[in-house]
Amino acid sequence: MINTKNFLKILKENDLAYFSGVPDSTFKELISEICEDKEVENRISANECEAIATATGYHLSTKKIGVVYMQNSGFGKTINPITSLISKEVYSIPIILFIGYRGEPGEKDEPQHKTMGKLTLPFLKMLEIPYEILFPDYDQAGELIRRMKELAEKTNYAVAIVIKKGVFEGDVKKEENKYELLREEAINLIINEIKKESIIISTTGKTSRELFEQRKIHNQENNDFLTVGSMGCSSAIALEIAMQKPSKEIYCFDGDGAMIMQMGTFATIGKNSPKNFKHFLFDNNSYDSTGGQKTNSDSLDFEKIALACGYKYAKTIFNKKELVNELKKIENVQGPVLMVIKIKKGSRKDLGRPTNSPLQNKTLFMEKFE
């Protein structure tokens, strides 16, 4: 494996000292090193399209090349700015893409990564982006970085380095915060307080895993749709279900990274204002499922944003007592409602995964409406 400090040294020696993107667990060790290194710039991005745009701005203002990191699922999101912004037929902007290779054909991975795993390399070819796969070989890494940077400079276009799991070794640093509740503890309180017939749509990652586990622990029948992949989309899914089923209480369990990625959905929810919509946003200022890297939520006031977008009620909650009190209060409050729950980072080490496939979850969920 390649030591992250040594690899980052290679990047800096090649004058690659600007990074932007959305973290991926495939190379979380390297992203953690980038976040900690004071000699480089790291622009935490709301989504991968934004990361391409900030790297474009970096090149326009410095003539230098930026590195954009992402999971391959996020690579799909970048096709628009790649074809309409940095393309050789438009502005011809050189960028180096670091793409985590989830769902690699022949390797075991979660269902939401399989399709993009098959399409990652074909998409790169279709977009005429030269790529190389990084292997855990330090000597190869130095030559690869030098060669790919030269190619980006020569073509004035994107080049990609595809990174498999297990390439890097290094520390993954996680900062603690002062909040009282873990996300799973908050989920437990909520599902035991709301009406049993309520519908929950939960965001991708550990939120859905913890909701599934709590249902299992309490032997509860559930009406839950566990969103996998499609980060940031659970609030829009929940909105439309609330619009189509106004007699049902619809709850969305969301995360700060996911909400920031698709923050425009706040405006859509506020504009349509479903009275039966209750939005719980678990905010730990981190991408918890990909290594605990920081989001930008520490600079945001989700409560004020929601109210400005048309939510009827919003509250920020810091502890168990406040959550219990608010759960009772919002029973009779018309939505849309936002509850921002400040939580600790992390989850328990023995956290399981849903035993139902996504297709089984969909089928069971839709049966509730028959």
Which contiguous run of DSSP H or E holds residue 246?
A: none
Tokens of 108: 């075991």
Fold (CATH) for 183-367: Rossmann fold (3.40.50)
The confidence score (pLDDT) of residue 116 equals: 93
Domain boundaries, the chain: 2-169, 183-367
Distance between CA atoms of residues 203 and 207, nearest Å: 6
Tokens of 202: 């939960």
The confidence score (pLDDT) of residue 82 equals: 98
Quote the pTM value.
0.93
Distance between CA atoms of residues 86 and 90, nearest Å: 6
Distance between CA atoms of residues 115 and 97, nearest Å: 20
Which residues of the chain, if any, have pLDDT below 70? Answer: 174, 370
pLDDT digit string, tens, across residues 293-312: 889 899 999 999 999 999 99
- Amino acid type, 150: E
CB 251 within 8 A of CB 199: yes
Q: Position of tokens 């096709």?
A: 79
Three-state DSSP at 248 gives: coil
Phi-psi region of 195 (alpha: psi -120 to 50; beta: other; left: phi over 0): beta
Identical topology for domains 2-169 and 183-367: yes
CB 94 within 8 A of CB 155: yes
Three-state DSSP at 99 gives: strand
Distance between CA atoms of residues 204 and 188, nearest Å: 18
The confidence score (pLDDT) of residue 98 equals: 98
What architecture does CATH give domain 2-169? Answer: 3-Layer(aba) Sandwich (3.40)
Distance between CA atoms of residues 203 and 200, nearest Å: 10
Q: Position of tokens 């009827």?
A: 312
- Amino acid type, 170: G
Q: Rounded to the nearest 10 degrees, what angle do helices 28-36 and 4-13 cross at?
A: 60
Long-range contacts of 56-59 (CB under 8 A, 24+ apart): 56/81, 56/85, 56/86, 56/91, 56/93, 56/95, 58/18, 58/20, 59/93, 59/94, 59/95
The confidence score (pLDDT) of residue 103 equals: 93
- Binning the chain into helix, strand and coil, the percentages to the nearest 5 are 45, 20, 35
